A and B are shown apart, each in its own frame.
Chain A
Amino acid sequence: MLELYGTSLRSRLLLGTARFPSPAVLTAAVRASRAEVVTVALRRESGGERAGQGFWSIIRELGVRVLPNTAGCHSVREAVSTAHMAREVFATAWIKLEVIGEEDTLQPDVFGLTEAARILCAEGFEVFPYTTEDLVVADRLLAAGCRVLMPWGAPIGSGRGLNNLFGLTALRAHFPAVPLIIDAGIGVPSHAARALELGFDAVLINTAIAQAGDPARMAAAFAQAVEAGRAARRAGPIEPRDLAAPSTPVIGTAFRE
């Protein structure tokens, strides 16, 4: 079981709800993914007003836990006030904290991120920070009170998979007890399986499912990949090696010197 801020979850696939062709397709994809947590971009989806009631009620009717996010926030202040609004709309202390620092890559502004995390944790929020694989930043986020980290695989929506394998495996090794969720850049189910094989606790997928030709089918594919990756991790993968290692013993084989 995956445990996030005291909540136990069976599914290790979290689903973002933006950019689906329609709420009906979103609903079908959430069901097919068997996700128990969905993220919602409060700011962009509702235009920053408390006016998205139609969409919010569709999200609530999904019957899954909502992890509101601060997508589209570029400053500490914006992110903090969006978190306040999220707490009111969805009655949850959970907040996926994004503070964007660069427009082209949507790379997190890790300085603003740690500052906003400190403020929100002190206010009693349970913060899921969207961060890079940087170890020092991770350390600061944990010191700020975060108990889950969400490192990126690649830039948001890029579909490039796990860009910096060395950095990500180092992060995993450094913080063996902290739930780590790969947050962005996953393109296909094999990327997700890889993340779980490497020991990451879960993945969050949005664009790769929402913009697929058949989002519900892709959601089901991701669900299988995540399960396969997790099972493989628990089963203990072999270490890769440079030379062939025959699976059948050769010593004593007839006609062989």
Chain B
Amino acid sequence: MRVTVIGAGVAGLTCALELAERGVAVEVLERGAQLGASACSWFAGGMLAPWCELESSDPLIARLGAESIPWWRERFAGTLINGTLVVAHGRDAPDLMQFAARTAHFERLASAQIAGLEPDLAGRFAQGLYFRDEGHLEPRSALTGLAARLGELGVAIRYGVDAPAGSPAGRQVIDCTGLAARGQLTDLRGVKGEMVLLRLREVSLSRPVRLLHPRVPVYVVPRPDGLFMVGATMIESDQGTRISARSMLELLSAAYALHPAFGEAEIVEIGSGVRAAFADNLPRLRRHGETLYVNGLYRHGFLVAPALARRAADVLLHGSHFPEVMDADHRQRRLA
């Protein structure tokens, strides 16, 4: 079998690698001129946080996410399992209680334990939640790592190539083009996300920290070289070219609220992208003729892509069926 994967974001590359590892002849077509040039994956937080996501997501996301963490660990050496720390300022304590009530797989921490995990946050928060088994990765190195591994397996990624209309003769197609597939998947919508990348040497964190706030919950993810990614907004919008001043204010205020030293950080980069989502914010594999669409990963791209890639490969190679991600409308399942 020969398979063309369209789209070199996290969904496309994980699908391509999963197939290549199973001995399938794969090629990847990417409309951008280089890796990440037109993928919202490039601006992702890279948090592997299935149990935190239970706060507002269907349990399916936690299951797919928990399954995906080992996949990342086996294939990308930069996958760190240092947990996730969730904190709130005293006046937002009810938000922390609510977060704890909706999630699972965490320990409650008092101030001293928070200081033990993250010395630079000592004395700043009275209580927190620690999701020990969660991880994070740097999305750009992860994508680069996947591309390199594909190269080793002889898979070519052809950049600057627009997907041909209809599938090429004799080839199966996996379409991972996100919002660009909207013409075919008419129930997709865009959810804009914005992030800032800061550099600060005075503070170091070992794990993503989520700061709960009734209006502007944000996370700060540490990256190598003194960098911190602060994200991410969720705005019902299809246009993601620029960050708004309001979003920038909110992200920076939240970083400052986490630690005032962020006031002195350098702003290294401002990014924004548009995630593709279905109405229930759950991903789907959907078959149209010879094309299998893997789409609607919403804000869960790195979290769930490996589990979806596995299922996509099983669908293509063995004709498997996975109702949880393949039913045309599985919100009926959830809301029945």
A38 to chain B, nearest CB (A): 14
Judging by beta carbons under 8 Å apart, are B237 and A51 in contact?
yes
A53 and B187 alpha carbons, distance in the complex (Å):
12
- Chain B minimum-CB-distance residue to A17: B236
Question: Which stretch from B63-71, B108-116, B188-196, B319-327 is at the chain A interface?
Answer: B188-196
Q: How far is the CB of B329 from chain A (nearest CB, A)?
A: 9
Instruction: Evaluate contact between A46 and B280: CB separation under 8 angstroms.
Output: no
Residue from the list B56, B215, B238, B331 in contact with A24, Cβ < 8 A: B331
Contact present for B238 and A47 (CB under 8 Å) = no
Q: How far is the CA of A28 from the CA of B188 in the complex (A)?
A: 18
A240 contacts the other chain (CB 8 A):
no
What is the size, in residues, of chain B's interface with A at 8 Å between Cβ atoms?
28
- Name B266-293 residues within 8 Å CB distance of A: 277-282
A63 interface residue per 8 A CB criterion: no
Q: In whole angstroms, what is the CA distance A47 to B274 when docked?
A: 12
- Chain A, 20-64, CB within 8 A of any chain B CB: 21-25, 27-28, 44-49, 51-55, 58
Q: Is the CB of B236 within 8 A of A54?
A: yes
Of the candidates A21, A44, A49, A52, which one forms a contact with B57 in the assembled complex, judged by CB atoms under 8 Å apart? A21
Residues of the B chain whose Cβ atoms lie less than 8 Å from the Cβ of A211: 98
Known: A23-B279, A49-B239. A54 touches B190 (CB 8 A): yes
CA–CA, A55 and B239, complex, Å: 12
Contact code string A172-216 (vs B, CB < 8 Å = 1, else 0): 000000000000000000000000000000000000000101001
Assess the A28–B335 pair: CB atoms within 8 A: yes
Which residues in B have their C-beta under 8 angstroms from that of A21?
A: 56-57, 281
B260 CB, min distance to chain A CBs, angstroms: 18
Q: Name the distance in Å between A59's Cβ and chain B's nearest Cβ.
A: 9
A47→B57 contact, CB < 8 A: no
The 8 closest A-B pairs by CB, nearest first: A54-B189, A55-B236, A24-B280, A22-B281, A51-B239, A51-B237, A24-B331, A24-B279
Chain A residues in the interface with B (C-beta under 8 A): 21-25, 27-28, 44-49, 51-55, 58, 72, 157, 211, 213, 216
What are 23 residue pairs bridging A and B, where the CB atoms are less than 8 Å apart in the complex? A22-B279, A22-B280, A22-B281, A23-B189, A23-B279, A23-B281, A24-B278, A24-B279, A24-B280, A24-B334, A25-B280, A25-B335, A46-B237, A49-B239, A51-B190, A51-B239, A52-B236, A54-B189, A54-B238, A55-B189, A55-B236, A72-B246, A213-B101
